[in-house]
Amino acid sequence: MPALWIAHVTVTDEEAYGKYAALAGPAIAKHGGHFIARAARFVQLEGKERPRNVVAKFPDVETAVACYNSPEYQEALSHARGASERELLVVETSE
């Protein structure tokens, strides 16, 4: 079943986070993921508001987790650490 990779982010260092974004997109695409929402309009109804919300769709949970653990994504993530506050989860979809 497909899976959604959902990130809620507050960027604290735009320059460093830009390096993350430049590397993360190709890493996600390499693993069959594609963005369905990225920094678009949102309405926070509950919980901690993060101004940047990203949703990518993957073929399945295992592929999304493999992407996260891949050397390419970990390199990208090294630029996000210290440049953002983030929550990231992967959830299986019913479609």
User: Tens of pLDDT along 30-67?
Assistant: 999 999 999 789 999 999 999 999 999 999 999 999 99
Give 73-85 pLDDT, tens digit per residue. Answer: 999 999 999 999 9
- Amino acid 45: pLDDT: 95
List Cβ neighbours of 33 (8 Å cut-off, separation of 6 or more). Answer: 5, 56, 57, 58, 63, 64, 67
95 — pLDDT class (breaks 50, 70, 90):
confident
Pairing of strands 34-38, 3-11: unpaired
- Amino acid 16: pLDDT: 94
Residue 65 φ then ψ, to 5°: -70, -40
CATH architecture, domain defined by 3-92: 2-Layer Sandwich (3.30)
